[in-house]
Structure 1
Amino acid sequence: MGRALSLFGLGAQAPRERRGEGIREMDWQQSAPMRGYEPELAPPPRNAPARMPNNNTAVLDVRDARRDGGFGDAPRLTGQHNLPARMGHAPAVPQTGVRRLVGTAGTALTTGMTFIAAQGTAAHLDDDTDEQLVPRVGRMFENELRLGLRVLLVAAVFGGGWLTLVPLAGAVVVPGNLVVQSNVKAIQHPTGGIVAEIKVDNGKRVAAGDLLVRLDATQSQAQLQSITKQLNEQRAKIARLSAERDGLEQPEYPATLTSRADDPNVRAVIASENALFKARAVTRKSQKELLQGRIVQLNNEISGMESQLDSKTKQIDLIKGELAGVQDLYDKRLVPLTRLTTLQREAARIDGERGQLVSSVAETRSKISEAELQTVKIDQDFRSEVVKDLSESQAKEGDLVEKSVAARDQLDRIEMRAPNSGTIHQLAVHTIGGVIKPGETIMELVPDSDELQVEGHVQPKDIDHVHTGQDAMVHFNAFNSHTTPKLSGQVSFVSPDITNDPRTGSTFYTVRITLPDEERKRLGDVNLKPGMQAEVYVQTGTRTMLSYLMKPVLDQWRRAFVE
C-alpha cells in the first residue's frame, strides 16, 4: 500500500537538499521516509485542477490542523509525500490526457486520505511515527474501499434482480383523434344547382329533418312538367290502343288520368285520344263499307251474267233442235246448204257467248273473294299496327316513368335537410345565387347523439400486438396531464387490411377504441369534442427490463447466422 501511495506522490520522502547528488532519478521509489520535515499541504479546493509544485513535492500535514483550524480536533499527518524525483528533473512536457487523469486522481486520493485520517483517529495519530502512519492510513483506506465494494455488490445484486424479476408493462403507442361512431356527415348534392336560400351558419345546432339549404327549383320543375306531360300522353295512347286492339267501343283510361280529369293537360290528352279513336274507327268502317258495296255490285253482276247464261243456254237448245230439223231437210235436199251453215254459225256464236258469260261469272266471283279478303285484311292490318304502336308506347311509358322518378327525386332534393341532429361545420356556401357543383361537399354535420370513439393509426410493424377486445389507455393531449386522468377503453375495431394515405404515402391499420360512459364521467365538466388529439396506449402484456435490453442483441444474433 505504501508503494501504491508513493506512486501517486503520497509517500514520505526527504527533501532534495538533504539527499546526495549521486542519488539516481529512480531512487525515490526505494527511499525511506525521512523524519523531521513537515511541509504544509492544504487540501485542494473542490473542482480545482491538479497542480504540480515547483519542488515536485506534495506535502500532507494534519498534525497542526487543530491549531490552524483546518480539521478541528482531527490529528495531523507528519511527513513529506513527494512526487517522483524524475518529474522534478525531467524537462517540461505537455501533459497528456493520461497525465492529467493521474494528477487529478492523486489530488483526490490526497484529499480522501486527509478526510479518512481525520475521522475517529485523533487520539492515536499524535504518537505515531512516520513509519507507522503510512500503514495505518493504508489500512483505513483499504477498509473504506472494502465498504465501497460491498455497497457496489449489494447494488449490483438488487439491480440484477430488478432487471430479471420485476415485470414492466408494455404497450403500443398509437396517435389518434376523437371521432363519432358513425363519422361526420358530408352534406352533398348529386346534380348541383343554384343556391336559392341558406338556412344555417357554422356552429348552428340542427335537428333531424331541419332545412339546411334550398336550391332553385325552376329547371327541375320544368323538366318534371315536360316528363309528366309526355307520360300522360303515352298513358292515354296506351288506353286508346288497348281499346282498338280489343275492339271496344271506347277507351278505358287508367286512374292516374281519370283522377286528374280537372287538369287541363290531362283533359286535353283524353279528348285528343277519344277523337283519334273515333276517327280511326270511322275510317276502318268506311273502308269496309266500300268493300262491301263492291262485293254487292259484283254479286249483282254475277246475277246478270247468270241470267244471260241461262238465256244463252236456252238459245243453244233451240238452235240445236232447229239445226237437227234443217239437217234432215238438207240430207233430203229439201233446203240449201246456206240454210244449214247459218244455223250452225248461230249455234257456235251462242255457245261462245255462253262461255264468255261463264268466264265473267268466275272472274266476278274472284273479285268478290278479293274484296272480302281486303275487308278482313283491313282489320288484321289495323290490329297489327295497334299492337306495334302499343308495344312502343308501353316502352316509352316505362322510360318516362324512370325519368319522372328521377326528376321528382331531383325536385325533392331541392330542399337539403339534416339527416340527423348535430352541429353544422365547414359551411362552404355563403352566396344566394351561387352555383353548387355535382357531388361538392356543401357542409359537414357533426352528429351529437352518436358515441364518441378514438380512431388511431397503427404501424404495420406493431399490428401483431393489437387485436379486438384489447385494453387500452387514452390520454387527451388538449388537457392537462396532471389534472386530467387517463381513460380506460377497449379496442372495438381493427381494419382487416392496410390503408394507404394518398397525401403522405404512409400505410397504416385503422383501429377504434371505445370509451365506456363511466370512464367519460371521470372527466367531470370537461367536454369532449370530435377532432381532439389523443394518445392511445394499447396494452400488450408485461416483460422484464432484461428482455427489453436483450431483444435487439438476440435478434441480431439470429440474423447473423442466416445466409
Structure 2
Amino acid sequence: MADLYMGQLQAAKQAKRLVIIVFILLFSVVLWAKFAKLEEVIIGQGTVIPVQRVQTIENLDGGILKEVLVHEGQLVEVGDPLLLIDETRFAAAFAESSQERESLLARRNRLLTELKSVELDDKSSFGATIQRLEIPRKGVSPEVYRQAYNTYTSRLTQLESQLQQRTQSLLQQEQASNEQLANISALKQSLKLTSREVELTQSAVDAGAVAEMELVKLQRDEIAMKGELNQATALLQQLRAAKSQVLEERKAIVFDYLADTQNQLDEVSNELAKISQSSKALEDRLLKAQVRAPVRGTVKNIVSRSIGSVIDPGEVMMEIVPQNDQLLIDTKVQPKDIGFIRVGMPAKVKFTAYDFVIYGGLEGEVTYISADAQYLEDGTAYYQAFIKTTVSQIAQQPIIPGMQTQVDIITGKKTVLDYWLKPLLRAKANAMREP
C-alpha cells in the first residue's frame, strides 16, 4: 500500500515537473516571438535592364570602311577603338590646313615682334628706337621660323635705311643752316660797318671834305648788302622749313610702318582664327575616322559590311549595350502591395540564373514607382518599380540585360508574434459579419 502511494506521489511530481517545463518552454517561445523580428517583404518579379540606353555607333561624316576592330559580344571599355574609316582625304586636308596655320602663326609672331621692335623716339638720332628681338618659336618649324626671321630683319633693315636717308638729309640741312647763320652774322656785321661808314662820309660831304660821288658809292654798297642779308635770311627760313619737313617725313615713315604692321597683324589674326576653326574641324574628322566606344558595354548587331565599302553619313554600324557598376531592375508589383512601397526602400534582388543559396543576391534600393497601373497583354494589372543595385556582379558572375529576377522589397520589420497573431486578428475582423 505504501509502495503504491509512493509511486503515485512520484508520478504526480514528474507530471508537475513536466507541466512546469512545458510552461517554461511555452513562455520562452512566446517571449522570443515577442522580441524576435523578421523582415516584412513584398515580392515582385523583375527583369534586368541597362541603366543607360543602348548606344548606337555611327559615323556622322561617312567614308570608306577600312577595318572592323571588334566582334559580336565583345566587352569594350570607354575609348576602345571599334572600327576605322579611311582617313586619307581628311589627312590631306588637315595637313594642308596645318601648314597654312603654321605659316599664319609665324607671320603673326613676326608682326608682333616688329611692333615691339620699333618705337618712336625724337631724342634718337634716327627719330625712332629700333632693336632686334627674338621671334617666338612655339608651334613653328625651323624652316618656317627662318623665313619669318629673314623677313623680320629685312623689313627692319629697310626701315633703318629710310630713316638713315632722312637723317642724312637732316644733317645736310643742319649744316647748310649753320653755314647760312654764319653768313647772316657776317653780313650783319658788314652792314653795320658800312652803315657807320655812310654816316661818317655824309658828315664829310656836308663839310665839303669828300666828294658826293664817294657817298653814293657807299650807299649803293649798303643797299646791296641789305639785299644779300634779306636773301640769306629767306634762305635760312627755307632751310629750317625743309628741316621740319624732313622731321615730319621721318615721323611719317615710322607711323606708316607701325600702322601697316598693325593692319597686317589684324588681317593675319583674323585669318588665323578662321583657319584654326577649320583646322580643328578637320582634326575632329580625322580623329573620328577611328570610331571609339562611348560607354563600357557589350557589342551587338554589327552591320555586315565588306572592307572598302562606302558608309553613308550617320549610318548605324553597331550597337553597344552599356554595362555599369550598377544594375537597374524593372520590377512588376501587384496592385494589392503598391500601397506599402516607397521610393528609397531597400530591396534584395535574387537572380533566377544563379542559385540564391550558392551565389546569394544583390542589395538594392527602390528608385521609381509608376504613378498608375499598367497592363500585360492578358489584362493583368501591375505597377512598375525600378530597383537600382549597388554592384553589377554577383560572386564575380556576369549579369546581363534580360535576366529574370525575384525582388524582395523590404517594407519594414515585424515580430514573430505579430505573424502568429495576424490570422487571428484577420479572423476577428471578419467575424460576426453578415455574409
CA distance in 1, matches of 2:71, 2:385: 32
- Confirm or deny that 1:194 pairs with 2:70: no
Structure 1 counterpart of 2:346 = 470
Q: Return the offset for 1:214.
A: 0.8
Structure 1 counterpart of 2:301 = 426
Query: Which of 65, 72, 95 is matched with 1:225 structurally?
Result: 95
Query: Which of 530, 537, 545 is matched with 2:401 structurally?
Result: 530
CA distance in 2, matches of 1:271, 1:518: 65
Q: Please tell me the residue identity of whatever aligns with 2:311.
A: V
> Helix, strand or coil: the match of 2:400?
coil
> Helix, strand or coil: the match of 1:221?
helix
Structure 1 counterpart of 2:365 = 492
Q: Please tell me the residue identity of whatever aligns with 2:92.
A: A
Query: Which of 118, 127, 139 is matched with 1:256 structurally?
Result: 139
> Helix, strand or coil: the match of 1:213?
strand
CA distance in 2, matches of 1:540, 1:427: 44
Cα distance change, pair 520–367 in 1 and its aligned pair in 2 (3 A): closer
- Confirm or deny that 1:332 pairs with 2:207: yes
Post-superposition CA distance 1:241-280 (Å, at most 9, x none) = 34433345475451533xx43xxxxx2x335324422431
Q: Return the offset for 1:199.
A: 1.6
Post-superposition CA distance 1:324-374 (Å, at most 9, x none) = 233113323566777656644542442243133123213312422432343
Q: 5 Å matches for 1:56-135?
A: none
> Helix, strand or coil: the match of 2:343?
coil
Contact 2:392–2:399 (CA<8 Å) still a contact in 1? no
Q: Please tell me the residue identity of whatever aligns with 1:194.
A: G
Structure 1 counterpart of 2:28 = none
Post-superposition CA distance 1:355-401 (Å, at most 9, x none) = 33123213312422432343344335434544564566567656655
Cα distance change, pair 430–316 in 1 and its aligned pair in 2 (3 A): same
Query: Which of 183, 188, 203 is matched with 1:313 structurally?
Result: 188
Q: Return the offset for 1:494.
A: 1.0
Q: Return the offset for 1:218.
A: 2.6
Contact 1:180–1:451 (CA<8 Å) still a contact in 2? no
Post-superposition CA distance 1:278-323 (Å, at most 9, x none) = 4312321231122123223323432443354244334423431331
> Helix, strand or coil: the match of 1:347?
helix
- Confirm or deny that 1:171 pairs with 2:46: no
Q: 5 Å matches for 1:338-353?
A: 340=215, 343-344=218-219, 346-353=221-228
Cα distance change, pair 331–248 in 1 and its aligned pair in 2 (3 A): closer
TM-score scaled by structure 1?
0.50
Q: 5 Å matches for 1:36-47?
A: none
CA distance in 2, matches of 1:344, 1:373: 44
Cα distance change, pair 484–380 in 1 and its aligned pair in 2 (3 A): same
Q: Please tell me the residue identity of whatever aligns with 1:329.
A: A
Q: Return the offset for 1:424.
A: 1.8
Structure 1 counterpart of 2:155 = 280
Structure 2 counterpart of 1:365 = 240
Structure 2 counterpart of 1:216 = 86
Q: Please tell me the residue identity of whatever aligns with 2:310.
A: G
TM-score scaled by structure 2?
0.63
> Helix, strand or coil: the match of 2:401?
coil
Contact 1:224–1:407 (CA<8 Å) still a contact in 2? yes
Post-superposition CA distance 1:48-74 (Å, at most 9, x none) = xxxxxxxxxxxxxxxxxxxxxxxxxxx
CA distance in 1, matches of 2:241, 2:369: 85
Structure 1 counterpart of 2:108 = 238
Query: Which of 444, 448, 468 is matched with 2:319 structurally?
Result: 444
CA distance in 1, matches of 2:103, 2:80: 38
> Helix, strand or coil: the match of 1:187?
strand
Whichever structure has more strand as a proportion of its residues is 2
Contact 1:475–1:486 (CA<8 Å) still a contact in 2? no
Q: Return the offset for 1:217.
A: 0.9
Cα distance change, pair 172–370 in 1 and its aligned pair in 2 (3 A): farther
Q: Return the offset for 1:224.
A: 1.8
Q: Please tell me the residue identity of whatever aligns with 2:62.
A: G
Structure 2 counterpart of 1:41 = none
CA distance in 2, matches of 1:387, 1:459: 78
Structure 2 counterpart of 1:322 = 197
Q: Please tell me the residue identity of whatever aligns with 1:363.
A: Q
Cα distance change, pair 295–194 in 1 and its aligned pair in 2 (3 A): same
Contact 2:347–2:410 (CA<8 Å) still a contact in 1? yes
Q: Please tell me the residue identity of whatever aligns with 1:254.
A: R
Contact 2:87–2:286 (CA<8 Å) still a contact in 1? yes
CA distance in 2, matches of 1:203, 1:216: 22
Cα distance change, pair 230–364 in 1 and its aligned pair in 2 (3 A): same
CA distance in 2, matches of 1:280, 1:319: 58
The answer for unaligned runs of 5 or more in structure 1 is 1-166, 262-266, 500-506, 522-526, 551-563
CA distance in 1, matches of 2:320, 2:333: 27
Contact 1:456–1:510 (CA<8 Å) still a contact in 2? yes
Cα distance change, pair 448–470 in 1 and its aligned pair in 2 (3 A): closer
Contact 1:181–1:451 (CA<8 Å) still a contact in 2? yes
> Helix, strand or coil: the match of 2:231?
helix
Post-superposition CA distance 1:113-154 (Å, at most 9, x none) = xxxxxxxxxxxxxxxxxxxxxxxxxxxxxxxxxxxxxxxxxx
Q: Point out which structure has higher relative CO (alpha carbons under 8 A, 6+ apart).
A: 2
**Quick one: percent identity of the two aligned structures?**
18
> Helix, strand or coil: the match of 1:371?
helix
> Helix, strand or coil: the match of 1:256?
coil
The answer for unaligned runs of 5 or more in structure 2 is 1-37, 118-129, 373-382, 430-435
Q: Please tell me the residue identity of whatever aligns with 2:301.
A: Q
Q: 5 Å matches for 1:126-145?
A: none
Post-superposition CA distance 1:420-461 (Å, at most 9, x none) = 7753212346354333435x6532223568565423488999
Q: Return the offset for 1:492.
A: 2.8
